[in-house]
Amino acid sequence: MGYGKFGLKLFGSHVLMSVVQLFLYFLIFGAFPESELYQWVIGILFILFFWLIIYADASNYGQNDLKRGTFHKSKGFVSGLIASIPGFILYILALALPSVWIFEVLLRSFLIPYVKLFIAFENSMPAICIVFLLFFPIVTGLSYLDGIRRREKIKGAIAKKDAMRGELSKGGLLQAVDKKEKKKKHKR
């Protein structure tokens, strides 16, 4: 998969997370509307949950690209920027046409994981949204690069298992287990 397809996959993950968190927003944030601490904790959890899903998606993709031999260090960053294009368009429209409120509503919906920060910086909206839009390619790029660490960890576990298999076979334990399995298969 190339940069564009990975970008579209990340965009799909972003939209899915936004829809889920938009639904959860009305359920969770309204529970204790007077508690500022509760709202900050939930707001931070929204952001962490969003980043965790994006991290898992991008690092898994990086790991798979390493296995296929198609890994490029910039791919996560570039694909994250591609996935952010609709957000940047909404941002520009919200700034350029402040009287058309629907663009700011769509922008806030697209960036719903940062809802508590929107409320905290209400006076700077929508100008401050550029910061949240730039987080996405940074998180995806760093997560994609983490695929290297994850791939090395798996290769290490495989090597360790192979080494243990060799040790077991020296003692004859593995051969005895293999004979029992062959007898079971033969009886069937």
Which amino acid belongs to residue 27? L
Torsion of CA 16, 21, 27, 28, to 10 degrees: 150
Average pLDDT over residues 147-152: 90
Average pLDDT over residues 75-89: 94
pLDDT tens sequence across 129-146: 899 999 999 999 999 999
What is the per-residue pLDDT for 169?
A: 60
Handedness of CA 126, 130, 132, 133 (dihedral sign): positive
Closest CA to 109 of 92, 86, 127, 131: 86
Q: From residue 1, give the alpha-carbon distance in Å to each of 8, 65, 99, 160, 178.
A: 11, 9, 41, 31, 40
What is the per-residue pLDDT for 123?
A: 87
pLDDT tens sequence across 31-71: 666 778 888 888 899 899 999 999 999 999 999 999 998 99
What is the per-residue pLDDT for 88?
A: 95
